[in-house]
Amino acid sequence: MQYRQGDVFIEGIKKPTTVKGKRILNGVLVEGEVTGHAHRVQKSDLDAVEIVAEAEHIVLSARRDITIVHEEHSPITLPAGDYKVGIQREYSPQEIRLVRD
């Protein structure tokens, strides 16, 4: 399954055997570059997730359905499972760049 919220792309994955990186405890998946708003796990769902920031993306494991919120986008509900979270990229003839939200 794939989900998108603004510039954030969330893709269902098979549970990784090892996840190495920094644990994220506040639920923030991606900070906004322009507005300062953040794509985050709804506070009431923090007890059901494990979020780890790896070098290229974030790995999110949800033990039950959770909601991702952002001040400028509609909330999205992710079913229980494992996900890779990253920033969408866009192509232009000059370069491949991250989408800015």
User: Mean pLDDT across the stretch 36-62?
Assistant: 92
φ, ψ for residue 3, nearest 5 deg: -135, 155
Q: What is the pTM of this model?
A: 0.81
User: Mean pLDDT across the stretch 76-101?
Assistant: 74
pLDDT in tens, 56-85: 889 999 999 999 999 989 999 999 999 999
